[in-house]
Amino acid sequence: MNVAVEKDIAKVGVQNSSEWDVLIVGAGFAGLYMLHKCQQRGYRVRLFEAGDGIGGTWYWNRYPGARVDVESMEYSYTFDAELEQKWSWSERYAAQPELQRYVNFCADYFDLWPNIQLNTKVTDAVYNEATGSWRIGTENGVNTTAKHCVMATGFLSSGQIPNFDGVDSYQGETYLTSKWPKEKVDFTGKTVSIIGTGSSAVQAIPLIAKEAEHLTVFQRTPPYSIPLRNEPLNKEFEKLVKSMYPEWRERQRWQSRAGFIAVNNEPTYPNDKSAIEVSEKERLADYEMRWRSGGLCYYSSFVDLLQNQEANDTLAEFVREKTRQRINDPELAELLLPRGYPIMAKRLCADTGYYETYNRDNVSLVSTKSDPIEKITARGIVVAGREYVSDVIIFATGFDAVTGAISRISVTGRGDRDLNDHWEGAPRAYLGLISTGFPNLFFLDGPCANGALVSPMLLSEHQVEWVDRCIAHSGLEEGASVEPRPESEDEWMVHMHEVGKDSLLHKANSWYMGANIPGKPRALLSYLGGLENYRQQTEAGESDNYRKLVVSKVA
Ligand code: NA7
């Protein structure tokens, strides 16, 4: 520990028998900012990261075409004005390698490396009621104790390969998009199969198709996908944003609905009108304007798109019509067009040449909607009795999202209660930050907050700052603890379900609902109240002196 840190701890008079004041799990954007805050406070802090590099999701997801679909100028840390001015993005939407450069730059900039421990996968955490601290175990046998533990494990970090019959018998090469090798994978001259057509596949397919001898796509549910319109970062736009970053960020935080405001290189406000109450002309003008901008800006279109089926249908039909024009073969287009579930009820995809890829001679589509994948053999994939032989299978099959990464750690709270038991049926956490019976254990971008539906950068920064103040409030002394009153957790869950009950999200089998994982209980995993409302609710939780929490301080 450095002398300055020791001095600071001496200053606040910490008497803590734990090895660490705060142990953070996960070196994504959320965990790294948490580490920065703890360092600023002079805490004894450690961050454990399973990978051998930092970046979390952006460390693991290195498949061809991996790129963020929130604009780079908005998908970056917002808490440090100097950093904002210093860093320049090269593209409108940063690709994975640039995101990794950014995250490493930030770790250097804030001098985070001394407290990051790589290659350290946390397996279990057990609360000690006598000391009010956590014992944390890891895969490589390192055990440690910490007064507070912050799970910054990510909501799209637990990749899943479905348990296809015969999956282990396959003799070719296999890849999972969310755990892609660091070395370049060369598909030249190979026949490749890819299972899945979510965001990851939609990004990877156009690039793999250019290289492979033949690419076969196995599609279960056609996605809704909007052209991303990526390009080198417009320098005028960069200048504009950098000249008004404080105001821009405030609008992202408080006046954006989902955390981003750029549309067609301009700052905008979300559209607060109903899609069915405006004239068709006005409606189509909004949809056209967003189509020109590209990407995810439909999330800030008409206010009722995710609440009202009729409103939603207008956008779904608009997108289908636009999509139809991108595919040469009308029969194939019918197979690729999304139907039967509301647009945005599964996460919208944003693509670069996805549909046009199906116009190539070396790409074919196998629909597994009515004929699911039967099995995987030593040579390939079997659908409807036909074997599709291939040299490579890529699983772009998604994540055990939101709860998966936390659930894979064995977490034992007060009274030997297992967190997975507490979350049985559906996860529960006050403000999505802390669960009753699990004192001093915080979740960033976890369930019951709105991580899945807003720009994660903004949400996690806000949560980190909340957790930072909460830890400071409850203290680091032995025996001190903080957890929600049972009724506070109940109240939040009632509020979350009230806010989400009429959402069209319930009408699709998405990872938002846990419905992409066989056996996972179907439940709304995220708070749908919007970013501003979430910020208000969490701030209210503090301004009444944490009345909804039980804070046991040590005199
Ligand atoms: P997604 O969006 O969950 O996509 C996974 C894809 O894999 C999707 O098309 C699934 O079809 C398909 N899938 C999953 N299991 C199966 C089985 N058993 N059989 C056939 N097809 C299957 O994950 P991504 O990695 O693409 O994107 C995750 C998020 O990252 C995304 O939402 C953005 O936020 C960024 P389904 O739709 O379930 O029928």
Whether 469 is in a domain gets the answer yes
Q: Which of 160, 516, 517 to mutate to test the pocket of ligand 1 (most atoms within 8 A of CB)?
A: 516
CA dist 404 and 299 (Å) reads 25
From the centroid of its chain, how far is CA 94? Answer: 16
Taking the CA of residue 515 as reference, the ligand 1 atom at the shortest distance is 38
CA dist 506 and 307 (Å) reads 10
Mean pLDDT of the chain: 95
Do 247 and 340 fall within a single domain?
yes
How much helix, strand and coil, in percent to the nearest 5, is found in the chain? 35, 20, 45
Segment 516-533 shows an average pLDDT of 95
pTM greater than 0.85 (yes/no): yes
Whether 413 is in a domain gets the answer yes
pLDDT per position as a tens digit, 181-229: 999 999 999 999 999 999 999 999 999 999 999 999 999 999 999 999 9
SS3 (DSSP) at 188: strand
Whether 134 is in a domain gets the answer yes
Taking the CA of residue 199 as reference, the ligand 1 atom at the shortest distance is 26
Among the candidates 395, 430, 455, a domain finishes at: 395
Do 368 and 491 fall within a single domain?
no
Whether 213 is in a domain gets the answer no
pLDDT per position as a tens digit, 361-412: 999 999 999 999 999 999 999 999 999 999 999 999 999 999 999 999 999 9
Q: How far is the CA of 71 from the centre of ligand 1 (A)?
A: 22
Among the candidates 395, 410, 428, a domain finishes at: 395
Do 336 and 447 fall within a single domain?
no
Q: Which amino acid is located at 506 in the chain?
A: H
Do 366 and 239 fall within a single domain?
yes
Among the candidates 378, 395, 412, a domain finishes at: 395
Report residue 218: phi and psi, to 5°. -100, 110
What share of the chain in percent tops pLDDT 70? Answer: 97
Q: How far is the CA of 162 from the centre of ligand 1 (A)?
A: 10
Q: Contact, 435 vs 424, CB < 8 A?
A: no
Nearest alpha carbon, ligand 1 atom 38: 516
Q: Which two tokens stand for residue 238?
A: 């960069």
Do 333 and 467 fall within a single domain?
no
- Domain span at residue 432 reads 3-158+401-552
Residue closest to 514 by CA, chosen among 525, 505, 506, 504:
525
Per-residue pLDDT band for 16 (boundaries 50, 70, 90) equals: low
Do 283 and 418 fall within a single domain?
no
pLDDT greater than 70 at residue 78? yes
Q: How far is the CA of 340 from the centre of ligand 1 (A)?
A: 17
Q: How far is the CA of 500 from the centre of ligand 1 (A)?
A: 22
Per-residue pLDDT band for 13 (boundaries 50, 70, 90) equals: very low
Q: Which of 163, 203, 220, 371 to mutate to test the pocket of ligand 1 (most atoms within 8 A of CB)?
A: 220
Number of structural domains (the chain) is: 2
Q: Looking at residue 521, what DSSP letter applies?
A: P
Residue closest to 107 by CA, chosen among 33, 5, 50, 157:
33
Q: How far is the CA of 197 from the centre of ligand 1 (A)?
A: 6
Question: CATH no. for residue 147?
Answer: 3.50.50.60
Whether 193 is in a domain gets the answer no
Residue 453 has what pLDDT?
A: 87
Residue 10 has what pLDDT?
A: 31
Q: How far is the CA of 396 from the centre of ligand 1 (A)?
A: 6
Taking the CA of residue 159 as reference, the ligand 1 atom at the shortest distance is 25
Q: How far is the CA of 31 from the centre of ligand 1 (A)?
A: 26
Do 409 and 390 fall within a single domain?
no
Nearest alpha carbon, ligand 1 atom 4: 198
Do 412 and 545 fall within a single domain?
yes
Whether 185 is in a domain gets the answer no
Nearest alpha carbon, ligand 1 atom 12: 196
Per-residue pLDDT band for 8 (boundaries 50, 70, 90) equals: very low
pLDDT greater than 90 at residue 431? yes
Do 380 and 439 fall within a single domain?
no
Do 382 and 416 fall within a single domain?
no
Q: How far is the CA of 355 from the centre of ligand 1 (A)?
A: 17
Do 17 and 75 fall within a single domain?
yes
Nearest alpha carbon, ligand 1 atom 34: 347
Do 548 and 512 fall within a single domain?
yes
Nearest alpha carbon, ligand 1 atom 2: 198
Segment 237-262 shows an average pLDDT of 96
Per-residue pLDDT band for 478 (boundaries 50, 70, 90) equals: confident
Nearest alpha carbon, ligand 1 atom 10: 196
Nearest alpha carbon, ligand 1 atom 23: 398
Taking the CA of residue 164 as reference, the ligand 1 atom at the shortest distance is 18
Q: How far is the CA of 185 from the centre of ligand 1 (A)?
A: 22
What share of the chain in percent tops pLDDT 90? Answer: 93
Per-residue pLDDT band for 142 (boundaries 50, 70, 90) equals: confident
Residue closest to 230 by CA, chosen among 72, 103, 385, 376:
72
Whether 163 is in a domain gets the answer no
Whether 67 is in a domain gets the answer yes
Pocket of ligand 1 (CB under 6 A): 156, 162, 177, 195-201, 220-221, 347, 368, 373, 396-399, 509, 511, 516
